Structure 1
Amino acid sequence: MRKKARGESDKPVIKTDRQTTEIRSSSPPSVTSWKGEGRNIALLLFLYLLQGIPLGLISAIPLLLQNRHVSYKEQAEFSLVYWPFSLKLLWAPIVDSLYYSRMGRRKTWLVPAQYVLGVMMIYLSTKVDVYLEGSPNVQALTMAFFILNFLAATQDIAVDGWALTMLHRENVGYASTCNSVGQTAGYFLGYVIFVAFESPDFCNKYLRSIPQPEGLITLSGFLYFWGIVFFISTTLVWIFKKEQQPKLPEEDKREVEHNLTIIDTYKLLIKIFKLPAIKWTVVILLTCKIGFSASDAVSGLKLIEKGVPKAQLALLAVPLVPLQIILPLFISRYTTGPKPMDVFIHAIPYRLMFGFVYAGLIWITPWFQNPDGQFPFYYYMMVLIIYALHQVTVYSMFVAVMAFFAKVSDPAVGGTYMTLLNTVCNLGGNWPSTLALWAVDLLTWKTCRTPDMAPHEGNQCLNATETQECTDMGGTCITDLDGFYIETLICVCFGLFWLRWGQRVIQRLQNKPESAWKVHVSMPK
């Protein structure tokens, strides 16, 4: 056998009488090897984890506010911080198209977004205790965490795009896994871990032998720590991780989306919106969750109001994680046919029923409270079972609507099409939740009663200030009529009427031909 000369290629060579063609090996690098794809997978997991931290914190703040007796109108005001992830389609084309080539297409946005996130968290750590002290400054908290979520949404756009080019073409499917696992881990740290270790009751009961007035961590300390982590990690990514611009295969170059300018992208979105089928789909997506808004947005805060420790509620999310992983895999078996939205329609009555279930749970919660303010183990088991059954209905609707999006999206502009539908779907959950929180106080009647149980004129315990004034003069805020129960009844009734109309519209949408969902665009020159 002839020995290879130095520099001779190990790749197979095909010789013809006209030319010699070298065939490159297309086997993807191993995802388990650090020298292969392992380091890219690890980096993506870490970037998505960082993204999940502010998302988890944003979910924890309402629990802290509820313990400080803010009004539900103020909770509704804070709920606006969830909106950036539902509206990121508005600036996503700009993030995808404008960049500084020497820095890299994705790092142009990723690095500044994460730096500002870190700086904002460090600055907020010096102010957050003042914002929460006494009567909480909900407006300042809303503005600060809205900015954090806007930056996290921008980082998400950049990381999603980078994942598609950072990974080898055959390994790009792992991008969604990194997103799911990393963001869930970050959310777990920012929500469950923070709420548990911030709670003095939880720490004194399970982690300390000598009780202390504070938890093991504070909100200001948590923000400062992760602000430093954001700053250091962003610097390391900027310096050491090089971004390479891959050469697209010819079949990808022919796809419309790869050739669109910013203006072209916005024009494409408008064309998609103008499709009659999309117009009705948008109406369905923006109204289908109104019936669930009271139970989804208010019930958890009502449990805290009834005395359930916020740390215990947060920890109930832990055993639900395996269920949330298994459910989509199981439900997807029933959404792969030509009519995936049948599962969506069938799940609605059961999810509406949970409005009454949660109302009943909140009603009976005080009966389970011990004299020391704690709740027995079997009460938490009952809550966990209710949560788990509710998740079945939630994920049935979620998996079905995602399957429907995948079925109707025009492959020529699939990414933009799917992003548009996902944005509308998220917005359809956010605005009813904000409205539901805002309406609770309007439907609630409270009075401040003095020690002799006489009503105090002029104080209706509408917010934290009036509640504190009532307490300071020795009185007690008494709820004469809880607006949550009225709101639940209104939402469920609306949901049942919506179902009678909505299922007919959904069936018509499912029966539309494929051509009804096509958007006619010309290739940019």
Structure 2
Amino acid sequence: MSNQPANRAHKRPKNKAQTEEKKFFAGSDREQLLGSDEEKKSTLSGDYLNICVLLFLYILQGIPLGLIGSVPFILSNRGVSYSQQAVFSFVTWPFSVKLLWAPVVDSLYWERFGRRKSWLVPVQYLIGIFLILISFNIENLLNSSAGPQMTVLTVMFFALNFLAATQDIAVDGWALTMLKPTNVGYASTCNSVGQTAGYFLGNAVFLTLESADFANSYFRSTPQPYGMVDLPGFFYFWGIVFLITTTLVMLFKHESTGKSFENDNMTIRQTYSKLVDIFNLPAIRRFAFILLTCKIGFAVTDSATGLKLIEAGVHKENLALLAIPLVPLQILLPWIISRYTNGPRPLDVFIKAYPYRLSFGVVFALILWWTRYLHATSGTFPQYYYLVIIFFYGLHQITLYSMFVAVTAFHAKVSDPTIGGTYMTFLNTICNLGGNWPATVSLWFIDRLTFTSCSADGTSCAVNSETDACKANGGTCNVTIDGYNLEAIICITIGFAWYFWGRRQLTLLQNKPSSAWKCS
């Protein structure tokens, strides 16, 4: 029940933007690279293998993201607090701040080996080695006598996600030259489909196969206390896959060197200077503030609902299986919604979808209450319960994608064409960061806004030591005020206040002339 497009975050919001960016290239710089009108006709002839390579590289990219996304569910089953989950959520930040080192990846390379392979190959080798090293240590870190080693886990998975973000920079850059100019739009499709498939393999497939209940129910006649795969084995397997496939790419896939674009001859210093020029635009500063604050209203709903459902008794593998019917929806929605955002006022869709998405804070709070009621009365969840969750989460995805596609379409509309790639990367980074920081803060506040009472003496039992003392006195620790519900009320209130202010600001920004968005 998390905000996947924003968590993979903090990944998907760039796909539509990349499509628009590559449309710009196809319509300007790339026109100079094409000869006759016949050459400008889109044809996949000669690019089938390149598309397969790109798709596979994006699938590889999604696998560590999916594995990282599964860890909070595993931690939740080990009694980790929401404050600790907030600390761990920092592992998702590299994709939101990769702009800080993207110019280095674009500018420094060994020409004989290949501009993109100079980074892709060593980074993917490091990811493979990292996954293997994690496989040897993950069980000890999760199951130590003092509880999960949160600091080590956070640093370890942050480093893994940093490598994945760096691989993403290299693959995105390679996509522009790997495909023929008329086929570059397919790179965005490879990105969307590949990352979705990779995330699904690393997250939903793993959580399902790792479940002993799932394996005993569907694949075994004699129940066993373990699943079909375990966490160390899954990490080790994909580590080996990364090492083998990276070697194959290094040996057999060569880079094209005949195409050049707007940023190719810029130094690192010039690229960073351009970023400063972009940020100094008054319109960009106001828009950046909007992007950094617009998702506060959805923070607790997007970041904690899945964890709360597990806490209420829903098995994590069942939540993972709910992602299956939603995958086609998540792939189709951007294409459908883009029909309504391609005009001169794409943010109108954002404004219309915003209050509907806010209302799901109330819907998911009610679903959480219903979940606890069912678990307390019957201990199980009927089939219609999961159908209701799929239905409402599907509606939630429509509002989420409406906002995301509208914003990225606006990015493409206002980006200065003289520095299109850098400009849009800057806006996408701000947009992703605007989703990450509220999620981290909201997780941190859940524990602090939760109030508990011991049935034996009425004292607080907010921490483990107090809970143990309550049980020793023959009492139980009861939640009097759930921090999730209290925070949902606060977030929704802030969200509607932001909406009444922000819709006017968005209208004003949308009405600004194109000169307001140009650096020169």
Give the TM-score normalised by the residue count of structure 1.
0.88
The answer to whether 1:512 aligns with 2:512 is yes
Asked if the contact 1:197–1:203 (Cα under 8 Å) also holds between the matched residues in 2, the reply is: yes
Match of 1:40 in 2: 50
Q: Provide the residue aligned with 2:195 in structure 1.
A: 183
Where does 1:81-480 land on structure 2 (aligned, <5 Å)?
81-133=91-143, 134=145, 135-248=147-260, 252=261, 255=262, 257-369=263-375, 373-447=379-453, 449=454, 453-455=455-457, 460-462=461-463, 476-480=476-480
Q: Tell me the distance in 1 between the aligned counterparts of 2:378 and 2:153.
A: 33
Do the aligned partners of 2:456 and 2:474 also contact (CA within 8 Å) in 1? no
Greater shift in the superposed pair: 70-79 or 497-506: 497-506
Instruction: Tell me if structure 2 keeps the 8 A contact 1:291–1:494.
Output: yes
Counterpart amino acid of residue 456 in structure 2: A
8 Å Cα contact 2:55/2:191 also seen in 1: yes
After superposition, the Cα gap between the structure-2 partners of 1:152 and 1:467, relative to the gap in structure 1 and judged at 3 Å, is farther
Unaligned runs of 5+ in 2: 1-34
Relative contact order, higher structure (CA 8 A, sep 6+): 2
**Quick check: 1:79–1:434 contact (8 Å CA) kept in 2?**
yes
Q: Which stretch shows the higher mean deviation, 63-72 or 362-371? A: 362-371
Q: How many residues matched?
A: 484
Change in CA separation of 1:416 and 1:218 when aligned onto 2, cut-off 3 Å: same
Contact 2:192 2:331 in 1 (8 A): no
Paired AA for residue 79 in structure 2? H
Q: 1:461 to 1:287 in 2, by over 3 A?
A: same
- Per the normalisation by structure 2, the TM-score is 0.89
1:27 deviation in Å? 7.5
Name the Cα RMSD after superposition. Answer: 2.2
Compared CA separation, residues 103 and 471, structure 1 to 2 (3 A)? farther
Partner amino acid for 1:510? Q
Write the distance in 1 (CA, Å) between the matches of 2:228 and 2:449: 38
CA distance in 1, matches of 2:258, 2:191: 21
Q: State the SS of the aligned residue for 2:47.
A: helix
- CA change 1:99–1:472 in 2 (3 A) is farther
Of 55, 59, 70, which residue of structure 1 is paired with 2:80?
Answer: 70
Q: CA deviation at 1:317?
A: 0.9
Q: CA deviation at 1:38?
A: 2.1
| SS class of match (1:127) | helix
After alignment, is 336-345 or 154-163 more displaced?
336-345
Q: Bigger shift: 358-367 or 66-75? A: 358-367
Contact 1:81-1:146 at 8 Å conserved across structures? yes
Alignment deviations for residues 6-55 of structure 1 (CA, whole Å, 9 cap, x no partner): xxxxxxxxxxxxxxxx9998478963x6xx32221111111111100010
Structure 1 unaligned spans of 5+: 1-21, 521-525
* Whole-angstrom distance in 1 between the partners of 2:366 and 2:94: 33
Give 1:420's aligned amino acid: F
Change (3 A) 1:84 1:185: same
- The percent identity for this pair of structures is 58
Question: Kindly tell me: are residues 508 and 214 of structure 1, through their superposed partners in 2, closer, same or farther at Cα, counting changes over 3 Å?
Answer: same
Q: Measured at CA, do residues 400 and 27 of structure 1 come closer, stay the same or move farther in structure 2, by a change above 3 Å?
A: closer
- 8 A contact 1:369–1:376 mirrored in 2: no
Moved more, 313-322 or 327-336: 327-336
Q: Is the 8 A contact 1:69 1:467 kept in 2?
A: no
Q: What is the rounded CA distance, in whole Å, between the counterparts of 2:38 and 2:497 in structure 1? A: 60
Please give the secondary structure, in 2, of the residue aligned with 1:259: coil
- Cα shift at 1:325: 2.2
